[in-house]
Structure 1
């Protein structure tokens, strides 16, 4: 058993900080044992926690994660924290919290507060990256503000009701005019990314063409190559 910090935003920022990038976490925890452990880890990795709200009493959110090495799967049991982060916790410090930021990343939790930051980031022309795991209250407003979206494997089809993953990514770009790309991790099969074309004269590809193109790209995968590889489409889409 291991006890360690986690969460999409904290993990991403810890990784960036270890790579030498300045990273700032804006969230809310409690002053319990889990919260104190998180603070120690974030400080050790040089993540800026000056805008981290620590409540007196309450509970820091945590997950019990069971990993099955034989099947390469995991099961997460999430225990939410309280009190929740509210817009009032940060509304007076929005500009200060975003000062110097080149990118804002949201994990789609505490969406009311995230929307405030997203609106301020948009005013300052700071790009927004959103982790869209599943439908949540307020997520549509965050999607409207986002420049880049990383989706769970099922989210694009659930959100767009498109018949396939490739066509769902096209639908996302059609619905969200600000979106530059959407990417879906596919586990051991890599990731699928749909990027908006900058060429106005590129043809719009239909759902059947998108599915056919995805199938053809999969045929180009070379399992003998041990290093990461990118297989680009030979066809451009416009949206």
Structure 2
């Protein structure tokens, strides 16, 4: 395959991911079972999972060099997780392996009628604690890293890693799924946040997602951008502008700004797109104002016959965002690119099987004129 059809990178950036890994037991059923019912699977698969494991796998397939920090046990599931990650090009040398206990795992029920998935998670034991990662190992793991990713689990250990990354001026991306104990301290160190649909309003108590994003940017002054993923409805991103862009810009209510963007989307386009506001002083009464740019990203329209499983779609999206940061993609290319990667994942069962490789020629269409 020619180099023209390979996803471009000026280098091979090292990234570090800390958080959940596990084994997923995926059961596809004709319809979600009712209480006390007996039902048969139509398909069953066992594969690696966990937000960090999935995100690092996605990043590896896109051409990055991920290192992963987490904890498993020296049991069969733990060994299989490590082998699967290593086969994908993820450096597992910083995984903590307990001689006793059990590795994390999840039961995932995939409803083939509604195309939804229900996850039942069992944490590993013993849990990871800061003492599991000596300072020398931590420094080695962070050596040369471009970005450090956290899925906001095991926050005591995450904060130790994040503080060291902060001291070394390594960029930090937080995947905020829901409010958790210790998350606020992590968010205070973040350069980038990617969050689930419910997180912004739950964390800020704002009345709308755009108002919540503005509140997040104001509460976390280090942030360069915050993204909220909305499933099949797309994504919204608020990017803070640099200071020298803030003079002589118009003011606009942030909710009104989003409404104006969504009205211009082209519903006839099947592939993901991105619509951006100009640099604007975005305001929300009772919250404040931010000079920035609001983006609305659409998703790929996947034919129903091709939509298999949404497990791990958010992890795929975030893995693509990590690539975009390392490749210096502008947001108008980053958001459609990440949406395409997430949609590709949804065409296969489980969080990893459908993740595209950097040799996928279609990926380059999102990165033209960048390198």
Match of 2:95 in 1: 52
Cα 1:202/1:72, change in 2 over 3 Å: farther
In 1, are the aligned partners of 2:171 and 2:191 still within 8 Å (CA)?
Answer: yes
Structure 1 residue 70 displacement after superposition: 2.1
Match of 1:201 in 2: 247
Match of 2:266 in 1: 222
Indicate whether 1:234 and 2:278 are aligned: yes
In 2, are the aligned partners of 1:91 and 1:116 still within 8 Å (CA)?
Answer: no
Structure with the higher strand share, 1 or 2:
2
Superposed, 1:134-145 pairs within 5 Å as 134-145=178-189
Cα 1:201/1:81, change in 2 over 3 Å: same
In 1, are the aligned partners of 2:241 and 2:279 still within 8 Å (CA)?
Answer: no
TM-score by length of 1: 0.95
* CA RMSD after TM alignment: 1.5
Q: Secondary structure at the match of 1:108?
A: coil
Structure 1 residue 204 displacement after superposition: 8.6
Superposed, 1:1-239 pairs within 5 Å as 1-92=44-135, 93-198=137-242, 199-201=245-247, 209-237=253-281, 238=290
Query: Gaps spanning 5+ residues in structure 1: where?
Result: none
Matches of 1:122 and 1:57, distance apart in 2: 33
In 1, are the aligned partners of 2:71 and 2:95 still within 8 Å (CA)?
Answer: yes
Matches of 1:235 and 1:53, distance apart in 2: 45
Matches of 2:250 and 2:267, distance apart in 1: 31
Q: Secondary structure at the match of 1:163?
A: coil
Q: Which moved more, 1:127-136 or 1:225-234?
A: 225-234
CA deviation string 1:153-175 (max 9, x = no partner): 01011111111100000000000
In 2, are the aligned partners of 1:34 and 1:60 still within 8 Å (CA)?
Answer: yes
Query: Gaps spanning 5+ residues in structure 2: where?
Result: 1-43, 282-289, 292-371
Q: Which moved more, 1:12-21 or 1:54-63?
A: 12-21
Cα 1:202/1:54, change in 2 over 3 Å: farther
Consecutive aligned runs of 4 or more in structure 1 exceeding 3 Å deviation: 202-206
